[in-house]
Structure 1
Amino acid sequence: MRFFHTADLHLAKPFGRFDADTQAALRTARLDALRRLGDAARAGKAEFILIAGDTFDAEAPPSKVVRRALDVMGDYPDLQWILMPGNHDSLAAVDLWERIERDKPENVILALTPEVIEIGDHVAILPAPPSVRNPGVDLTDWMTDALTSKRFRIGLAHGGILDFGSEEGTVAVIRPDRAELSNLDYLALGDWHGQKSITPRTWYSGSPEADSFKGHAEAGALLVEITAPGDVPQVTPVPIGQFDWRLLALDFFAGTDPVQQLTEALPASDRDKTIVRFEATGRLGLLEQSQLRDTCKQIADDFHYFEAIFDRLGIEQAVDDLDLIATGGALRAAADSLFEATDLQGRTAEDVQIAQIALTHLFHISQQEPSQ
């Protein structure tokens, strides 16, 4: 018996921190992930796809997004899609689930109550749909006493595991040994956005499309194969995501080549599908900082999104660097004043950081060609 396990698509997620073009591309990628899931499930000869909550990012997603999601699922009539509410689209979203119930294609099954859902003559799905965003109790308790005859027992839940936590900051209440305690062949979980095995029978699938710089495993879904009831599942991660999110936290020190260090850390290919947050720490001379900033400006358009943060990059104090700004006049006086203000003695760390940033900008501007 084979099926696909996914969760946390968060369709219509706003991605408010990004520019409008990036927001639109990321929202489109999440909707496209449904089609990639269907294609991958077909290729893996899966019988059905479990979505363990948070298909939608909010209780009232745009009507057009709901329609398009259902249309994509309907394009795979040979697959059954089992949808369960999560934290973001809990059962409190009455209008949403009534709309889905009314408009869904025949191959979509809604898991809206803690009751056994029979798939064919050999599979039993045991869902634990969240009634509200943070139920505060372990909704999987009922699975222990659920009667399923000799079928495969597949649990479906959304939330944090005790001693592990929750992606959304809600109370983590699901027992880590739920699958073993309730005689489940597999427990499909949603909420944590990275793929993670809790036990050989209990997995978070993670989101099929990355949505943060948290360093989760490669975004995708899980192909689960179980030979017979009671056997340990064979779980295979299947990459699904379009975008590669990279957090580059690089520490610099004077005397090294910061441009080379950054270049070696960046991906050489598929940059148009890469989202980069570059955080610089350590200390560099003014000239090195200027070269690093220029490089970031030059390569930014190679990537779908590139953000460089220099707030924590200190200045390696060298008076000679000030001569590159100016050797005299008002500009040099300003540089000397800022340089003096970068000394911690008698100043707060915040004031020193402001002075460092200002001096770095002054140096950088002074090195630009007049036409720039």
Structure 2
Amino acid sequence: MLRFLHTADWQIGRQYARFEVEDAAALAEARFTAVERLAGLATEEQVSAVLVAGDIFDAQGLSNRTLHRTFQAMSGFAGPWVLLPGNHDAALAESIWSRAQRIGAVPDNVHVLTRPEPLRLDAIGAAILPAPLTQRQTHEDLTAWFDDAATPDGLVRIGLAHGSVEGQLPESADSPNPIAADRAATARLDYLALGDWHGLKQVDARTWYSGTPEQERFKNNGAGQALLVEIDRPGAVPRVEARATGQYGWYQWRRRLAVASDLDALLEELAALPAMSVIDLTLAGELDLAGKQHLDQALSAAAGRHRSLQVDTAELALSPTAEDLADLHADGYVGHVIRELQEQQTGDGEGADTARRALGILAGLLRERPSAKESSS
């Protein structure tokens, strides 16, 4: 029986410009941690090999230190690693792969498949048919040669490719590099290990995308996993099991707040998330002053609990109640302005909406002012 891990799209060197510097650095570091977890999983599961279906690196111009760190992160598994260049790290004439070889970063147990020719791994009973990208994009199906490729009888026949299976992925998939939907059948493959789609996806019984081992987008597509594959013998249907490898979960929510129970439900949802999540939260609707204060306190606590919490409140209006306004003890000119805004906010229309927003802003400022006791101390 052949037992191996299928992974892809490590994207080592990926940048996270939308995040705070500290969070961006932690998310970039998590790419290395994911590789270490893969190595540990491979050793724990006693697999015969680890197959990586492209985009090990996010760009060609990464530093030599990053190259050394990547291969050192793989040291937890002593068996064969089989790496395929993808669209982000294509096997150009002068590429990140040729530089990695030149600086001595690639260990002896790592096979970098830069040419479309079979790799025989007789010791584990497998033959790997790779379709390396030699440029970022191509309009040819680089797996076509699999159909006529000869491999010895008795070896499990595995394809390794990076691109878009025709008719299976959205048009916004990472690259147009096409792969025939029936390639596993026409090439008599026991398994076709794919990369490029960053989520977990089964195309057919023998064809799978593993997704990236560390989630990096707000998509609910099964990212943050690797595939453990078992094949009893050549021709047998593979058994495929997803194993979690990711460190951070990513959550993108839009919530509308209208009544107190909406706020309670939101805070319960936040509390139920695993610690150190990455959260993008958009809030709309309106809150009174007490609700806004409760929300601010809860979000402050959540920001300390999670890796990143980004909140957009541009559509969330502050709508103080009559009791809120009475508690502000505003008199004189300010009190007059508040009464005017109260009258103008009734009804619909742009003027009423502007008055509601202005009233909310003014009430918030008044609530945050220091008390007479604080001012005199």
TM over 0.5, yes or no?
A: yes
Where does residue 131 of structure 2 map in the other structure? 128
Structure (1 or 2) with the larger CA radius of gyration: 2
Where does residue 20 of structure 1 map in the other structure? 21
**CA distance, structure 2, for counterparts of residue 228 and residue 257 of structure 1:** 55
Alignment root-mean-square deviation, CA: 2.8
**CA distance, structure 1, for counterparts of residue 109 and residue 355 of structure 2:** 62
1:266 match: secondary structure: helix
Name the % identity.
Answer: 34
Where does residue 292 of structure 1 map in the other structure? 295
The TM-score with structure 1 as length reference comes to: 0.87
**CA distance, structure 1, for counterparts of residue 53 and residue 269 of structure 2:** 35
Residue by residue over 1:248-291, the C-alpha shift from the partner in whole angstroms, topping out at 9 and shown as x without a partner, is 33232225351x212210244752x2222222234444543343
Contact 1:83-1:109 at 8 Å conserved across structures: yes
Q: Which runs of 5+ in 2 are unaligned?
A: none
Contact 1:118-1:124 at 8 Å conserved across structures: yes
Worse-superposed segment, 238-247 or 262-271? 262-271
Worse-superposed segment, 246-255 or 32-41? 246-255
**CA distance, structure 2, for counterparts of residue 312 and residue 356 of structure 1:** 12
**CA distance, structure 1, for counterparts of residue 142 and residue 341 of structure 2:** 60
Report matched runs for 1:40-51 at 5 Å.
40-51=41-52
Are 2:305 and 1:302 equivalent residues in the alignment?
yes
Where does residue 173 of structure 1 map in the other structure? 178
- Give the CA deviation at 1:42: 1.2
Where does residue 114 of structure 1 map in the other structure? 116
Contact 2:34-2:213 at 8 Å conserved across structures: yes
- Give the CA deviation at 1:134: 1.8
1:118 match: secondary structure: strand
**CA distance, structure 2, for counterparts of residue 110 and residue 95 of structure 1:** 12
Are 2:88 and 1:85 equivalent residues in the alignment?
no
Worse-superposed segment, 96-105 or 196-205? 96-105
- Give the CA deviation at 1:342: 9.3
Where does residue 242 of structure 2 map in the other structure? 237
Residue by residue over 1:334-369, the C-alpha shift from the partner in whole angstroms, topping out at 9 and shown as x without a partner, is 55676747975356xxx95x7766554443333236
1:256 match: secondary structure: helix
Where does residue 182 of structure 1 map in the other structure? 187
**CA distance, structure 2, for counterparts of residue 140 and residue 175 of structure 1:** 8
2:208 match: secondary structure: strand
Are 2:157 and 1:153 equivalent residues in the alignment?
yes
Residue-pair matches, total? 365
Are 2:10 and 1:9 equivalent residues in the alignment?
yes
**CA distance, structure 1, for counterparts of residue 177 and residue 340 of structure 2:** 53
Contact 1:160-1:166 at 8 Å conserved across structures: no
Where does residue 76 of structure 1 map in the other structure? 77
Task: Evaluate the alpha carbon distance shift between residue 110 and residue 315 of structure 1 in structure 2; reply closer, same or farther with a 3 A threshold.
Answer: same
Contact 1:188-1:202 at 8 Å conserved across structures: yes
**CA distance, structure 2, for counterparts of residue 36 and residue 70 of structure 1:** 13
**CA distance, structure 2, for counterparts of residue 189 and residue 216 of structure 1:** 15
The TM-score with structure 2 as length reference comes to: 0.86
Where does residue 107 of structure 2 map in the other structure? 105
1:41 match: secondary structure: helix
Task: Evaluate the alpha carbon distance shift between residue 20 and residue 334 of structure 1 in structure 2; reply closer, same or farther with a 3 A threshold.
Answer: farther
Q: Which runs of 5+ in 1 are unaligned?
A: none
**CA distance, structure 1, for counterparts of residue 260 and residue 166 of structure 2:** 48
**CA distance, structure 2, for counterparts of residue 179 and residue 356 of structure 1:** 62
2:198 match: secondary structure: coil
Worse-superposed segment, 51-60 or 317-326? 317-326
Task: Evaluate the alpha carbon distance shift between residue 66 and residue 358 of structure 1 in structure 2; reply closer, same or farther with a 3 A threshold.
Answer: farther
Are 2:226 and 1:221 equivalent residues in the alignment?
yes
- Give the CA deviation at 1:321: 5.1
